[in-house]
């Protein structure tokens, strides 16, 4: 059984993949520019998620209105680690959270079929104050993985869960410092 709170992600030595769901009007320019550009809003919080299955649950496999496109944004590990270090838990002090540059939320991780699991997935809310840094400095590439998401969903509908499972992005435990683990209640 995995630890209750652990960051699981697709990452390499330099970058980590985070997922977001958008309408085509935002996704198309982002993929073309390989960074987030208008009409992406720099005036509101944007939530990034390293868990593919959690986002599939949230977007209903890219079928919810406004969430029809699934983007895999590769961001620098330096940026991700900075976001974690600036993070305030959503369950913490409301006054501190209101001023926080980054909001951290732990939600139940999801199975391939969308059932809530007994361990949690991290959601990271980048505030408007930090959104230009996220979009302009942390993002190294953006890939539209909507076809992959829809293929997996179709395989599930057709009773081919084993084939669907093989198409999932690889996710493994992401290392964090002891200070970050304590601050964000990450199990080590």
Q: What is the pLDDT of residues 108-125, one digit of tens each?
A: 999 999 999 999 999 999
For the chain, domain boundaries: 8-184
The reported pLDDT for the residue numbered 2 is: 80
Tell me what the mean pLDDT of segment 12-37 comes to: 98
Other CB atoms closer than 10 Å to residue 109's CB: what's the count? 23
Question: What span, in angstroms and rounded, lies between the C-alpha atoms of 152 and 149?
Answer: 5
The reported pLDDT for the residue numbered 146 is: 98
User: b or e along 167-177 (b: 16 or more beta carbons within 10 Å of the residue's beta carbon)?
Assistant: eeeebeebebe
pLDDT above 70 covers what percent of the chain?
99
According to DSSP, the residues that pair with 18 across neighbouring strands are 73
The reported pLDDT for the residue numbered 17 is: 98
Q: What is the mean pLDDT of the chain?
A: 95
- Contact between residue 82 and residue 102 where contact means Cβ atoms under 8 Å apart: no
pLDDT tier at 126, thresholds 50, 70, 90? very high
pLDDT tier at 98, thresholds 50, 70, 90? confident
More confident residue, 100 or 13: 13
**Position 181 pLDDT exceeds 80:** yes
The predicted model scores a pTM of: 0.94
**Position 173 pLDDT exceeds 80:** yes
Task: Give the CA angle between residues 62, 140, 27 to the nearest 5°.
Answer: 30
145-171 residue pLDDT tens: 999 999 999 999 999 999 999 999 999
Task: Give the helix ranges, DSSP H, for the chain.
Answer: 24-33, 52-59, 77-86, 94-99, 128-133, 146-157, 161-166, 178-184
């Amino acid at each position: 059984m995995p630890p209750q709170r652990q960051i699981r992600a697709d990452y390499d030595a330099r970058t980590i993949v985070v997922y977001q769901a958008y309408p085509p009007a935002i996704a198309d320019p982002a993929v073309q520019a390989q960074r987030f550009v208008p009409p992406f809003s720099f005036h509101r919080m944007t939530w990034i998620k390293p868990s593919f299955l959690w986002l599939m649950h949230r977007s209903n496999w890219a079928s919810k209105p406004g969430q029809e496109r699934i983007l895999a944004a590769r961001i620098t590990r330096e940026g991700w680690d900075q976001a974690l270090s600036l993070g305030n838990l959503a369950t913490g002090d409301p006054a501190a959270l209101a001023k926080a540059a980054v909001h951290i939320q732990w939600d139940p991780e999801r199975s391939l079929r969308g059932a809530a699991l007994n361990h949690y997935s991290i959601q990271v809310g980048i505030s408007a104050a930090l959104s230009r840094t996220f979009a302009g400095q942390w993002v190294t590439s953006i890939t539209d993985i909507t076809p992959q998401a829809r293929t997996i969903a179709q395989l599930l509908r057709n009773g081919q869960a084993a084939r669907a499972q093989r198409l999932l992005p690889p996710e493994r435990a992401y290392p964090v410092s002891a200070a970050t683990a304590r601050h964000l209640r990450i199990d080590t």
